[in-house]
């Protein structure tokens, strides 16, 4: 068969892989607890065509690289340049090394075919995602029959690693999710979420925690943190040395945090309006009531920032301005650029979700957690398949990954509203389009100073999405970019002296993030120091720290922090 015919057949096989083989892979993902992933991505792949020039160039490149690989294998062990195959066992095993090198060549070629597809951007992105998932799942390192390191370890341990791997597999099947850390070493309230405080208010949606001051005097304006409700609040209070909450308390802020209840079936009817009115707004008013402060400072992280922004717009529409300044960390208000998550969202998916749970029910926490993991499959899925099951290893203790595995549910109506009005229709930035708590939302009325932070490598809230908020909030704004991703960029205490952050000294906020970055200066270390200085300017004078939690009989301490709600499992 000539080369053109071979490549014509390859294109047909590529189409078959996308339409049928990928569907089978998605069924396997569904068995792992990923109903949202196949629902979003399993739409029939339309007939596809390829850019002829790109296809010819790819063909020539493939032939050249395949020839080079074959020649290298004849003269020695070909090098597979990928960290999955970097171990000594791979390099010393010619067959394993050749298998890995062929896999990498074919993966690159499949990726090239995806880029050569002639289609709209969203279709091409979905094809690219499908190819990436397929390539990640089919790596020879994922299979004992091909993994040279796992085979070597099995021989060295006389099969003990295989037995341990089977034990790990059975354990994970019983607990319902893949272990990313040794979860037995952590306990909420014992060695994570340990900052001293007390629950001073609770309703069916959240508990409000007040933290014990660490200074003799505190700023007169209290501080309220609203974390994402798709995760638990202690990402902000992992260990004393990397706790944003403890940092705030140590800086003299009277600090309160919303600890979301992990929804069960009794909360299956709760809506976005409920979370705005009876959680965010309730928390703001409760902090005012406890502290007798006319205004407070507030922070929203990720979805917590979207909730805070919506609540502030509702309050502004009612003529209320209880928040002096707001901080938004890796937050979407404008959902025009949602990065990789956009490929899941279309009209059919949104309507399906509304039909499935728009009138009631729960979106299970494990579904969300698994979907986010498959956005980085090599790091957050297959890495643990290899380590836990093929090599029989116990993953190292890591507080952040323990938090990541502690998933939360979401009420179906809340999720359905959020899906349509943010990711799909982007209604929050269309004045009056979204109606929340009976009033039209207009972010243009949230006229307060804001601090906006985005992470450079964030794959959940891309930096361009975080920056887009600057176009919709009319108050004085400060935008800062940090290095790393969605979590590591945020949880970056100054004492670690890690990573960098970027600020524009002229304070200008041009139309695009690229223009902003062109005039930004890099600063070594954490952005926390810049934020702490900014926040102090909005926190008011220093007053004596309170001696007790809460206020009188109405807001007495219910139980010690971190409270009951955060300990509820999904």
Report the pLDDT averaged over residues 463-492.
97
CB contact at 8 A, 561 and 203 = no
Q: How confident is the model at residue 9 (pLDDT cuts 50, 70, 90)?
A: low
What pLDDT sits at residue 41?
Answer: 42
| β strands within 283-359, DSSP E | 296-301, 323-329
Of the listed ranges 279-288, 335-344, 514-523, the one predicted with least confidence: 335-344
pLDDT in tens, 156-205: 999 999 999 999 999 999 888 899 999 999 999 999 999 999 999 999 99
Which part of the chain is CATH 3.40.50.1820? 197-364+409-567
**Mean pLDDT, the chain, integer:** 90
What pLDDT sits at residue 123?
Answer: 85
What pLDDT sits at residue 71?
Answer: 87
Percent share of the chain, pLDDT over 90: 74
Give the Cα separation of 473 and 448 in Å (integer): 8
Structure tokens at 250: 């140590």
- Counting Cα atoms < 13 Å in the Cβ hemisphere of 419 gives 26
pLDDT in tens, 253-276: 999 999 999 999 999 999 999 999
Structure tokens at 223: 């501080």
Q: How confident is the model at residue 10 (pLDDT cuts 50, 70, 90)?
A: low
pLDDT in tens, 555-567: 999 999 999 999 9
Q: How confident is the model at residue 484 (pLDDT cuts 50, 70, 90)?
A: very high
Sign of the torsion angle spanned by Cα atoms 311, 267, 329, 493: positive
What pLDDT sits at residue 108?
Answer: 92
Given a cut of 60, whether residue 17 has pLDDT beyond it is no
What pLDDT sits at residue 468?
Answer: 98
- Taking each helix axis from N to C end, the angle separating 22-31 and 121-137, rounded to the nearest 10 degrees, works out to 70
Given a cut of 60, whether residue 59 has pLDDT beyond it is yes
Give the Cα separation of 548 and 411 in Å (integer): 35
| β strands within 135-261, DSSP E | 197-202, 206-211, 217-219, 223-226, 255-260
Report the pLDDT averaged over residues 34-47.
46
Sign of the torsion angle spanned by Cα atoms 115, 119, 121, 122: negative
What pLDDT sits at residue 34?
Answer: 35
Given a cut of 50, whether residue 30 has pLDDT beyond it is no
pLDDT in tens, 413-467: 999 999 999 999 999 999 999 999 999 999 999 999 999 999 999 999 999 999 9
Report the pLDDT averaged over residues 5-19.
52
Report the pLDDT averaged over residues 21-40.
40
Give the residue from 130, 106, 145, 150 showing the smallest Cα distance to 10.
106
What pLDDT sits at residue 37?
Answer: 41
At the second CATH level, the architecture of 197-364+409-567 is 3-Layer(aba) Sandwich (3.40)
Does the annotation count 302 as an active-site position? yes
Encode 465-481 in three state secondary structure. HHHHHHHCCCCCEEEEE
Given a cut of 80, whether residue 26 has pLDDT beyond it is no
What pLDDT sits at residue 21?
Answer: 40
| β strands within 173-322, DSSP E | 197-202, 206-211, 217-219, 223-226, 255-260, 296-301
Catalytic residue, candidates 40, 302, 311, 437: 302
Report the pLDDT averaged over residues 43-69.
81
- For the chain, the straight-line distance linking the first and the last C-alpha, in angstroms and rounded, comes to 56
Given a cut of 70, whether residue 32 has pLDDT beyond it is no
Given a cut of 70, whether residue 31 has pLDDT beyond it is no
Given a cut of 70, whether residue 132 has pLDDT beyond it is yes
Of the listed ranges 31-35, 223-227, 295-299, 396-400, the one predicted with least confidence: 31-35
Report the pLDDT averaged over residues 283-307.
98
Percent share of the chain, pLDDT over 70: 92
What pLDDT sits at residue 91?
Answer: 87
């Amino acid at each position: 068969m000539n080369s053109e015919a071979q490549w014509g057949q390859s294109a047909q096989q590529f189409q078959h892989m996308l339409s049928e083989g990928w569907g089978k892979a998605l069924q396997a993902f569904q068995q792992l607890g990923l109903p949202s992933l196949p629902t979003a991505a399993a739409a029939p792949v339309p007939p596809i065509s390829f850019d002829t020039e790109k296809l010819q160039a790819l063909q020539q490149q493939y032939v050249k690289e395949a020839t080079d690989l074959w020649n290298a294998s004849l003269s020695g062990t070909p090098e597979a340049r990928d960290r999955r195959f970097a171990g000594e066992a791979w390099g010393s095993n010619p067959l394993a090394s050749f298998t890995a090198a062929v896999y990498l060549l074919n993966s690159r070629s499949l990726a090239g075919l995806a880029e050569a597809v002639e289609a709209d951007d969203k279709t091409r992105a979905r094809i690219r995602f499908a190819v990436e998932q397929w390539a990640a799942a089919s790596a020879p390192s994922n299979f004992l029959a091909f993994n040279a390191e796992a085979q070597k370890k099995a021989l060295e341990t006389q099969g003990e690693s295989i037995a341990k791997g089977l034990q790990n597999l059975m354990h994970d099947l019983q607990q319902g999710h893949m272990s990313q850390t040794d979860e037995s070493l952590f306990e909420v309230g014992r060695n994570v979420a340990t900052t001293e405080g007390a629950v001073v208010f609770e309703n069916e949606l959240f508990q409000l925690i007040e933290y014990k001051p660490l200074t003799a005097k505190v700023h007169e304006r209290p501080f309220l943190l609203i974390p994402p409700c798709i995760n638990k609040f202690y990402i902000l209070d992992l260990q004393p040395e990397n706790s944003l909450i403890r940092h705030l308390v140590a800086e003299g802020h009277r600090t309160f945090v919303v600890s979301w209840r992990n929804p069960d079936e009794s909360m299956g009817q709760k809506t976005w309006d409920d979370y705005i009115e009876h959680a965010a707004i309730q928390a703001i008013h409760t902090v005012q009531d406890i502290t007798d402060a006319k205004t407070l400072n507030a922070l929203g992280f990720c979805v917590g920032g979207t909730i805070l922004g919506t609540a502030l717009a509702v309050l502004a529409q009612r003529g209320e301005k209880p928040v002096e300044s707001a901080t938004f960390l890796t937050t979407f208000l404008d959902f025009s650029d949602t990065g990789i998550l956009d490929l899941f969202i279309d009209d059919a998916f949104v309507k399906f979700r509304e039909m499935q749970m728009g009138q009631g029910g729960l979106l299970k926490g494990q579904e969300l957690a698994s979907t986010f993991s498959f956005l980085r499959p090599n790091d957050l899925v297959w890495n643990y398949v290899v380590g836990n099951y093929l090599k029989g290893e116990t993953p190292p203790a890591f507080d952040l990954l323990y938090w990541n595995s502690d998933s939360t549910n979401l009420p179906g109506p809340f999720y359905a509203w959020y899906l349509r009005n943010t990711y799909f229709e982007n209604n929050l930035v269309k004045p009056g389009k979204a109606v929340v708590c009976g009033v039209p939302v207009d972010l243009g009325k949230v006229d307060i100073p804001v601090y906006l932070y985005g992470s450079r490598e964030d794959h959940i809230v891309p930096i361009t999405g975080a920056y887009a908020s600057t176009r919709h909030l009319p108050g004085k704004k400060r935008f800062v970019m940090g290095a790393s991703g969605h979590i590591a960029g945020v949880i970056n205490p100054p004492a670690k002296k890690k990573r960098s952050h970027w600020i524009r000294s002229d304070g200008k906020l041009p139309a695009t993030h690229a223009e902003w970055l062109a005039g930004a200066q890099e600063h070594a270390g954490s952005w926390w120091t810049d934020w702490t200085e900014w926040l102090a300017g909005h926190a008011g004078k220093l007053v004596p720290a309170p001696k007790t939690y809460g206020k009188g009989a109405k807001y007495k301490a219910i139980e010690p922090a971190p409270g009951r709600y955060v300990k509820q499992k999904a």
